């Protein structure tokens, strides 16, 4: 179950990222499905996992397109709320020739997802994982964590963008990137940040480090895990690929350390194509 954002991504590829006040001409335009929550759901679904999306979109054309693209990936969208009075979320992304990006987001319907929406959607049987993110309101995140705990499911929070976390974070697996981890822990480096966050949650913390892999802290200690090397086209969505793949592997009962290695490999492979979702791999592609 993924509780998170659903956007439409408007992407311009240019030779170099613009500086403040600068216009860079000669770009190419493309439109993709996006939103960190929806991207993570796609990453998990492509690995063969049963996925249900909990989120909100408008009743506009962007909302129609967003739901169609998720359904085409085999994702259950029956728990996505349609809202008449707000637009579907939109992200404007600029990508340079090295695959680096700048992103601006208009949250739209994502900001209107409530805890009640989530409580209604979270009818959880058996075992599984609830994956949550910070592109929806705090109340929705809190309801998702509580629903996971009550059902005995594993809660994972990808705290992106970095902001104050819910009060009761005990037992929640955190998956920030290095910058987010340092902001959340008020630390100067990822190692110190991961250690501090582990003390807060008493649960595993995975700090993603881009091409360098990831830093995992859990009851066994600290481990630096590398990622494979590929020719990078676009890093947009790589963090979402990590989270979706990690949730998918943990849902199958895979050991945490093996699940992290698998997730880092999946994320690296996702950078081979333009767009947040286009490069997300199928299970047989991930070694």
Instruction: Say whether pLDDT at 264 is over 70.
Output: yes
Q: Please tell me which residue in 9, 60, 218, 240 is annotated as part of the active site.
A: 240
Task: At 3, give phi and psi (nearest 5°).
Answer: -110, 105
Query: Per mean pLDDT, which range of 64-78, 157-171, 262-276 is the poorest?
Result: 262-276
93 neighbors 68 (Cβ within 8 angstroms):
no
- Residues in Cβ contact with 250 at an 8 Å cutoff, skipping those fewer than 6 apart: 129, 154, 156, 256, 259
Active-site residue, 240 included: yes
Q: How far apart are CA 251 and CA 139, in angstroms?
A: 24
Size of the chain, expressed as the number of residues it contains: 287
Q: Which domain holds residue 187?
A: 2-285
Sheet of strand 221-225, all strands in order from the earlier edge strand to the far edge: 76-83, 52-58, 2-3, 129-133, 154-158, 173-174, 205-208, 214-218, 221-225
Record the pTM: 0.91
Structure confidence at residue 287 (pLDDT): 65
Query: Per mean pLDDT, which range of 98-107, 194-203, 240-249 is the poorest?
Result: 98-107
123 neighbors 54 (Cβ within 8 angstroms):
no
Q: What is the CATH number of the domain that holds 128?
A: 3.40.1190.20
Structure confidence at residue 138 (pLDDT): 97
- Domain count for the chain: 1
């Amino acid at each position: 179950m993924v509780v998170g954002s659903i956007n439409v991504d408007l992407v311009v590829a240019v030779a170099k990222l613009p500086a403040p006040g600068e216009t860079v001409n000669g770009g190419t335009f493309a439109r993709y499905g996006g939103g960190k929550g929806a991207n993570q759901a796609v990453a998990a679904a492509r690995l063969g996992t049963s996925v249900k999306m909990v989120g909100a979109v408008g009743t506009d054309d962007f909302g129609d397109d967003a739901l169609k693209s998720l359904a085409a990936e085999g994702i259950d969208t029956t728990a996505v709320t349609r809202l008449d009075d707000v637009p579907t979320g939109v992200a404007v992304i600029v990508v340079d020739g090295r695959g680096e990006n700048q992103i601006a987001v208009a949250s739209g319907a994502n900001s209107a997802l409530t805890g009640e929406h989530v409580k209604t959607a979270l009818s959880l049987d058996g075992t599984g994982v609830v994956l949550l993110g910070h592109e929806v309101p705090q109340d929705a995140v809190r309801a998702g964590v509580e629903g996971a705990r009550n059902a005995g499911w594993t809660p994972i929070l990808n705290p992106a963008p970095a902001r104050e976390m819910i009060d009761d974070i005990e037992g929640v697996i955190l998956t920030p990137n290095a910058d987010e981890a340092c902001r959340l822990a008020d630390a100067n480096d990822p190692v110190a940040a991961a250690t501090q966050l582990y003390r807060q949650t008493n649960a595993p913390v995975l700090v993603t480090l881009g091409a360098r892999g990831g830093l995992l802290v859990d009851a066994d200690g600290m481990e630096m895990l590398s990622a494979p090397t590929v020719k990078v086209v676009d890093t947009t969505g790589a963090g979402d690929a990590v989270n979706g793949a990690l949730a998918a592997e943990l849902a199958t009962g895979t050991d945490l350390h093996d699940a992290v290695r698998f997730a880092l490999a999946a994320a690296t492979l996702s950078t081979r194509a333009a767009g947040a979702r286009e490069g997300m791999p199928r299970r047989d592609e991930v070694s």
